A and B are shown apart, each in its own frame.
Chain A
């Protein structure tokens, strides 16, 4: 059995992405499978992330695995000044798999070099969060029936939002058309636009969430526009309401449109959208457990 780290979404080929999504769909049909019987998984959260941690730990529990670890660095030896290398070396002696969240970028890649057992990155600073990307892909796959030839509309903070960057990279395998809706300050960075240009993938940039854009979208991927990202607060005041999605805006949209959001949301999707059948963000979070079950099993070479 070959084991496999997942540190960055680019670690998976197109075929592997599809394989993991199919496996996630199996887990959704039958979530309780004791495939991790006798295995110990280290869940190392050097910074708190309740949502991600609970999702991973639910996935491990449903697979019958045992969990060791910590929920924030204050309760670990990191507090005493232990290096990341030493913590990983120590934990690696005890477990079969490491799931880790760390505020420093590149921490997971480094851990994967230090550890003998596979490492799954549950977020390294503003860099990568590949299990989020896999659950986003699974949500798109499930609601659209395919990942091919979709109109993906990304809204909000496209500059700093790591989820949109990883999703863009992963979706690039599947012939999408992108629409980027963002204020000038938070536009999609050039390096990603160059990346799309090189692959010949069309994209369009907008500064407003207009009816025209919404009505052609298959997926509306909302993100939070954070006040602290703006140097000029007046600028923030001008744009903050432009990117709030309201139920009335969904009237002319396609039937298959689904609204995704990595959560937590803070006002960028009005609560009146929640009851619209096109709102998908809560199911999206639920899909995370199945996607993570599939990722864990792939990491350990099970199934």
Chain B
């Protein structure tokens, strides 16, 4: 019932609600999704909200924007536990669980300073070798980048 109440409080007509973001990851989510670059969509951010599951959580609501798969993948790198609700006509029409992808292309920087991707313009490509915690293996230098060292490009 709690979630219903929440939706009523901040209902949007059409758009995306990213719920269950860990409270301290709100700004990472904003960065990863480049939400700050969005010009014309109305948005609501909330953090340190009460959550039965998480204690505290953050939430992002974007009017008239529907997250695509690539964007959902990006979210997996900073807030894999987040839940995405696609809203149409005030109803939740689709619930997406954030899935950790098998491959991560061009989102995270390789943490190896000697990697070719840090020397010239080469988009990063990683294979996900572990999903929780996330560990990425660079296609080029073959070194691991772990979750604590993620720098989002």
Q: A residues near B, CB below 8 A? A: 8, 83-85, 103-107, 109-110, 124-128, 191
Contact = CB atoms under 8 A, between A and B. Distances in A.
Given A84-B116, A84-B120, A125-B114, A106 B141 contact: yes
B144 A106 contact: no
A84 B144 CA distance: 23
Contact of B115 (A83, A104, A128): A104
B141 A105 contact: yes
B42 interface: no
A110 B142 contact: no
Contacts of B144: 191
Interface in B125-145: 138-144
A128 B142 CA distance: 9
A106 B140 contact: yes
Contacts of B117: 106
Contacts of A8: 142
Contacts, number: 48
Contact of B119 (A104, A109, A127): A104
A103 B114 CA distance: 8
A191 B130 CA distance: 12
B112 interface: yes
A106 B120 contact: no
A8 B127 CA distance: 15
A234 to B, nearest CB: 28
B118 to A, nearest CB: 9
B112 A110 contact: no
Given A83-B120, A84-B120, A110-B122, A104 B142 contact: no
- State the 10 A-B residue pairs at the shortest beta-carbon distance, nearest first: A106-B140, A105-B141, A106-B116, A106-B141, A105-B114, A109-B140, A107-B116, A104-B116, A110-B116, A83-B120
A106 B126 CA distance: 12
Nearest to B124: A106
Contacts of A128: 142
Interface in B64-105: none
Contact of A109 (B114, B120, B139, B143): B139
B122 A104 contact: no
Contacts of B119: 84, 104
A147 to B, nearest CB: 23
A83 B121 CA distance: 9
